[in-house]
Amino acid sequence: MSPTEAKHKIEKLSAEIEIHNHNYYVLDKPIISDYEFDKLLEELISLETQFPEWQSSNSPSQRVGGQITKEFKSVKHQYAMLSLSNSYSIEDMIDFDRRVKEGLGFGTSGLFQEDISYVCELKFDGLSISLIYENGELKQAITRGDGVQGDDVTINAKTIKSIPLKLNGHYPDKFEIRGEIFMPRPIFESINKEREEIGDSPLANPRNAASGTMKMQDSSLVAKRKLDCFLYYALGNDLPYQSHFENMLAAKSWGFKISEHAKLCKDIDDVIAYINYWDKKRYELPFDIDGIVIKVNDYKEQKNLGFTAKSPRWAIAYKFKAEQVSTELMSIDYQVGRTGAITPVANLKPVLLGGTIVKRASLHNADIIEKLDVRVGDFVFVEKGGEIIPKIIGVDLSKRSQSAQKTEYISLCPECHTPLIRVEGEANHFCPNENQCPPQVVGKMEHFVSRKAMNIDSLGSETIIQLFKAKLIKNIADLYDVKKEQLLTLDRMAEKSANNLLSGIEASKNIPFERVLYAIGIRHVGETTAKKIAKKSKSLDVLMHASKEELLEIEEVGDIIADSIAKFFKQENNKEIISRLKMAGLQFELSEEQLQQATDKLTNHIFVISGVFTKHSRDQYKELIELNGGKHTGSISKKTSYVLAGDNMGPEKLKKAESLGIKIINEDEFLKMIM
């Protein structure tokens, strides 16, 4: 590979990995398995090793984790929460044991030790948490965040009954203990059953459910989710013992929930036996694990081994490979989403996979079907990695029947029979009949009432479908015309339920403009983009009449989003719906309070933000810049006015700022500018 080819490949891999980091750590919606992600990262590291001239200080290989969320106060960790190196084979484990022994000097300089004691622990699949205790009382709970700083979720952590608020026995005056918050599978299944009964979409998996729950702002809702927490690592200057396993036993006596399955292993053979045992037995547990964590037990040995930039040399994670099974493809269905996107779904002969019975798997789009040459009647290989929706990864051609017919992708919408279209450059086919196609109409209304949009709790999917089938609503504006007497004609709709629904609809009229903008469902305009558009345009009237050039001036708005906005407001049906929503009293402009907070103090100033901050998160500083009329970009140029720098500012940015004479300011100096 030439240096130029390597440069392009590194850039492509970096961008792809960052997308997956965002999906996993911010959105909690991974689209690939952990194994696939690790392979991408390994490829990037290998290329950067071969071509160090193309390695950027902002490369995903240099990162500890993902971006920090904004819902809670950002807190800097006293001890960085580093990630662990991953392994997928017994050979990797033997190599790890060799590196540990070499790192400790055994077998050299006259020193020799036959074996190292390791502690093996289940790798829980949940949300990493750091708990700070002072004088035996819980003082703070902090999420992992990006490894350097995380979110203060103390209020929510206190609702988890397995996290002690006060300790027992003899404990250090101040220490930190880390663990994993998770949702037990029986609780997860119970919640999903309830959600299906009220017409809500089920939670994706226990890991995402636990992570999403800890981000809820209402702690009473967190308490109802019945989360649990295992603790597995203590840090502090006054821990009672000089070994990890003994300190975990001590922590158990203080009141912490320590897994009974942790084991002190005398050598690497003992470790391998532990791994093999749990690779088979993991599905019998009432919670999810995705591997085994192996740690050197002795603290002195840990200290001597030290750390790399990203992970400790004295610990490693053995990740279980995604399980694969072969089963028969019985048929293919085509689902229509709220945007009109068509998703092919494989109906499978039921098969046990990852501890659950799998009956369906995603086929994604026509290109995937063509690439795999999947045919009804084929025996297909199905994989489920990291509790993600099962997917078909291949076909067992040796079992293919000679009569198997090549799959022809549908040309008409399966719901309304409108001819499908496929926009150049997009993977999916679409049904263009967005105003009459039932799944699209219902999907738009389900999106409109969702928690991050209009948040009408009492109006679930099942009720929307009832109203739609009864011809009481045919678009989102109709919701505000529904009468109580109409509701009472529906099945299972008593007076109290009708009153609650109408109250919820009435309360939604106070939802702020940026969420209303997200709720009306302009294609490609997500929650974050809607906020930026609302702050820039300040009202829907301004947005409706904005030119493409004006739209492109808004951060995160490119050609595709600008064209989508223009197309949306050109359609007469959408104009009519907006007009009716205005008459109903929805908020279509920023509130007076929001407008009062806005200033022009930073007008014509362009900022670049770099480093780790203590008073606000990076995203909060971006909002403050926008609120006061400024702009922020990711790279330094001659047009940059200031670099807002925190701790550990990127060396490349520092060098470039100094070479261009760009003024570097700290948090206090920036905050004075907007006072």
Per-residue pLDDT at 387: 45
Per-residue pLDDT at 68: 36
Please determine, looking at this structure, whether the domain spanning 3-63 carries the CATH number 1.10.287.610: yes
For residue 364, pLDDT over 80 is answered with yes
For residue 556, pLDDT over 80 is answered with no
Q: How confident is the model at residue 110 (pLDDT cuts 50, 70, 90)?
A: very low
Tens-place pLDDT, residues 392-432: 888 999 999 999 999 999 999 999 999 999 987 777 899 99
Per-residue pLDDT at 164: 86
For residue 457, pLDDT over 70 is answered with yes
What does the longest C-alpha to C-alpha distance in the chain come to?
90
Per-residue pLDDT at 56: 67
Q: How confident is the model at residue 44 (pLDDT cuts 50, 70, 90)?
A: confident
Architecture category of domain 438-510 in CATH: Orthogonal Bundle (1.10)
For residue 65, pLDDT over 60 is answered with no
For residue 199, pLDDT over 60 is answered with no
Question: Do 438-510 and 513-595 agree at the fold level?
Answer: yes
Closest CA to 469 of 439, 493, 510, 495: 439
Report the C-alpha gap between 21 and 6 in whole angstroms.
Answer: 22
Q: How confident is the model at residue 357 (pLDDT cuts 50, 70, 90)?
A: confident
For residue 389, pLDDT over 70 is answered with no
Tens-place pLDDT, residues 155-181: 888 888 888 888 888 999 999 999 999
Per-residue pLDDT at 516: 95
Report the C-alpha gap between 172 and 195 in whole angstroms.
Answer: 44
Other beta carbons within 10 Å of 514: 20
Per-residue pLDDT at 63: 39
> What does residue 348 show for φ and ψ, rounded to 5 degrees?
-110, 155
Question: Do 232 and 262 contact (CB within 8 A), yes or no?
Answer: yes
Per-residue pLDDT at 113: 57
Q: How confident is the model at residue 188 (pLDDT cuts 50, 70, 90)?
A: confident
For residue 109, pLDDT over 60 is answered with no
Write down the residue that tokens 């279209």 correspond to. 421
For residue 108, pLDDT over 90 is answered with no
For residue 22, pLDDT over 70 is answered with no
Report the C-alpha gap between 41 and 35 in whole angstroms.
Answer: 10
Q: How confident is the model at residue 17 (pLDDT cuts 50, 70, 90)?
A: confident
For residue 572, pLDDT over 80 is answered with yes
Report the C-alpha gap between 640 and 661 in whole angstroms.
Answer: 10
State the Cα torsion 5-10-13-19 to the nearest 10°: -130
Question: Do 468 and 445 contact (CB within 8 A), yes or no?
Answer: yes
DSSP annotation of 421 reads: B
Report the C-alpha gap between 181 and 185 in whole angstroms.
Answer: 13
Q: How confident is the model at residue 50 (pLDDT cuts 50, 70, 90)?
A: confident
Architecture category of domain 86-319 in CATH: 2-Layer Sandwich (3.30)
Report the C-alpha gap between 245 and 267 in whole angstroms.
Answer: 15
Q: What percent of the chain has pLDDT over 70?
A: 91
Sign of CA dihedral 637, 615, 617, 177: positive
User: How large is the angle between the packed helices 527-537 and 618-627, nearest 10 degrees?
Assistant: 20
* CA distance to 278, 367, 500, 663, per residue, from 315 (Å): 18, 42, 53, 42
Superfamily per CATH, domain 513-595: 5' to 3' exonuclease, C-terminal subdomain (1.10.150.20)
Per residue in 592-615, is it b (16+ CB within 10 Å) or e — as a string? eebeeeeeeebeebbbbbbbbbee
Report the C-alpha gap between 675 and 666 in whole angstroms.
Answer: 15
Per-residue pLDDT at 524: 83
Question: Do 238 and 172 contact (CB within 8 A), yes or no?
Answer: yes
Mean per-residue pLDDT over the chain, rounded: 86
**Displacement of CA 334 from its chain's centroid (Å):** 27
* CA distance to 36, 41, 280, 602, per residue, from 6 (Å): 21, 15, 41, 40
Specify the long-range contacts of residues 593-602, CB closer than 8 Å, at least 24 apart: 594/512, 595/538, 597/627, 598/535, 598/627, 598/628, 598/629, 599/627, 599/628, 599/629, 599/674, 600/628, 600/629, 601/628, 601/629, 601/673, 601/674, 602/628, 602/629, 602/630, 602/673, 602/674
Superfamily per CATH, domain 323-399: Nucleic acid-binding proteins (2.40.50.140)
Report the C-alpha gap between 441 and 473 in whole angstroms.
Answer: 10
Report the C-alpha gap between 23 and 32 in whole angstroms.
Answer: 10
Q: How confident is the model at residue 523 (pLDDT cuts 50, 70, 90)?
A: confident
Domain ranges of the chain: 3-63, 86-319, 323-399, 438-510, 513-595, 599-673
Mean pLDDT of 456-478: 90
Q: How confident is the model at residue 579 (pLDDT cuts 50, 70, 90)?
A: very high
Q: How confident is the model at residue 64 (pLDDT cuts 50, 70, 90)?
A: very low
Question: Do 365 and 377 contact (CB within 8 A), yes or no?
Answer: no
Burial of 326 (0-12, 13-18, 19+ CB in 10 A): middle
**Displacement of CA 220 from its chain's centroid (Å):** 23
Report the C-alpha gap between 117 and 66 in whole angstroms.
Answer: 33
Give me the CATH topology for the region 599-673.
Rossmann fold (3.40.50)
DSSP annotation of 568 reads: H
Mean pLDDT of 528-556: 88
Least confident of 18-27, 47-56, 322-331, 579-588: 18-27
> What residues act catalytically?
123
Per-residue pLDDT at 601: 86
Q: Which residue has the higher pLDDT, 570 or 532?
A: 570
Question: Do 25 and 66 contact (CB within 8 A), yes or no?
Answer: yes
Report the C-alpha gap between 22 and 513 in whole angstroms.
Answer: 26
